[in-house]
């Protein structure tokens, strides 16, 4: 008997997270037809184009990993772009998917949606309980809007239309395929690039932004991809029973953090840089601590596998081999 393939659209498939989700779907399910479009082929900020795409393709499931992303420098430099572009992408994809009859969608947010001074480790119900970190507030607001859009569609249309829209909030993601080349990079690729260049150039000192005291949690990208596919496979009644109707998002992380100073030391060791590392305290630190409570994710049967030092090593090896 011929088995019909499920059509799955991965929005943002060329990015760090999207490309890993594609690899995981290809490994884990033979009965999948992946539908992929680059930004050149489909501009997700174009409402008409996105609507036409969904009407034409008859998609069964969506992984919404497309976003404008960047580190603290990029967030400070392009706040309007981070807010506008992400709002448009999310609104167009979620609404067009719904109108075209897509019943299952996974939206990927970020741990930056939580207030700057959240209780640690951060539970899902900390959302909207306080002020955001100013350096990435526009991006965070966009991601909060994405969570609430999925949540609102579930509340208004869920029972009538048998919707199953889910949101995952991962901690800081890193791994092969990240942006290692520009000032817009996140902290791990930025540190890898700077320490590697310093090693090659025999630079005696590398300066790192901030005091080195903030604590952050880092998740290897392939672990996140596994979490996405796993959580999409959790039965609807079980998933939504755990997250609740007014708190529809779920944290994804490892439940442990390190200081930026400790991270810099690990990257130094992996790269083999033997010079001096100094911290520029005139630059912003951002949120003092950010580690996620992942009790619900564990109850739903998922846990990260990659240790930080091993993930850093794999990431650096991918840069060296490219």
Active site residues: 139
What count of other Cβ atoms lies within 10 Å of the Cβ of residue 117? 14
Phi-psi region of 256 (alpha: psi -120 to 50; beta: other; left: phi over 0): beta
- Work out the angle at residue 142's Cα, subtended by the Cα atoms of residues 144 and 125, and round it to the nearest 5 degrees: 10
The span from the CA of 291 to the CA of 289, in Å, is 7
Exposure b/e, 24-55, CB count within 10 A at least 16 = b: bbeeeeeeeebbbbeeeebebbeeeebbebbe
Q: Give every strand in the sheet of 289-290, ordered side by side.
A: 258-259, 215-216, 289-290
The span from the CA of 83 to the CA of 93, in Å, is 16
E-strand spans in 53-110? 61-64, 104-108
The span from the CA of 10 to the CA of 60, in Å, is 11
Q: What is the largest CA-CA distance in the chain?
A: 67
């Amino acid at each position: 008997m011929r088995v019909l393939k499920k059509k799955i659209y991965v929005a943002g498939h060329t990015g760090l997270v999207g490309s890993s989700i594609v690899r995981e779907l290809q490994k884990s399910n033979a009965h999948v037809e992946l539908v992929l479009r680059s930004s050149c082929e489909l501009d997700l900020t174009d409402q008409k184009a996105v609507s036409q795409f969904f009407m034409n393709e008859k998609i069964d499931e969506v992984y919404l990993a497309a976003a404008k992303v960047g580190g603290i420098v990029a967030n400070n430099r392009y706040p309007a772009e981070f807010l506008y572009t992400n709002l448009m992408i999310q609104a167009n994809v979620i609404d067009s998917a719904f109108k075209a009859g897509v019943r299952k969608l996974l939206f990927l947010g970020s741990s930056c949606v939580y207030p700057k001074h959240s209780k640690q480790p951060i539970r899902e119900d900390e959302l909207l309980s306080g002020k955001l970190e100013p350096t990435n507030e526009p991006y965070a607001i966009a991601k909060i809007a994405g969570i609430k859009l999925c949540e609102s569609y579930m509340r208004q249309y869920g029972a009538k239309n048998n919707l199953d829209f889910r949101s995952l909030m991962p901690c800081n993601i890193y791994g092969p395929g990240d942006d290692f080349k520009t000032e817009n990079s996140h902290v791990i690729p930025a540190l890898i690039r700077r320490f590697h260049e310093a090693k090659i150039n025999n630079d005696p000192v590398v300066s790192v932004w901030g005091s080195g005291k903030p604590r952050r949690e880092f998740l290897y990208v392939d672990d996140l991809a596994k979490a996405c596919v796993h959580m999409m496979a959790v039965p609807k009644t079980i998933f939504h029973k755990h997250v609740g109707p007014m708190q529809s998002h779920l944290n994804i992380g490892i439940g442990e953090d390190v200081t930026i100073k400790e991270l810099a030391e690990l990257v130094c060791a992996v790269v083999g840089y033997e010079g001096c590392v100094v911290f520029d305290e005139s630059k912003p630190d951002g949120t003092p601590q950010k580690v996620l409570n992942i009790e619900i994710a564990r109850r739903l049967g998922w846990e990260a596998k990659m240790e930080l030092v091993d993930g850093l090593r794999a990431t650096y090896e991918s840069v060296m081999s490219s």
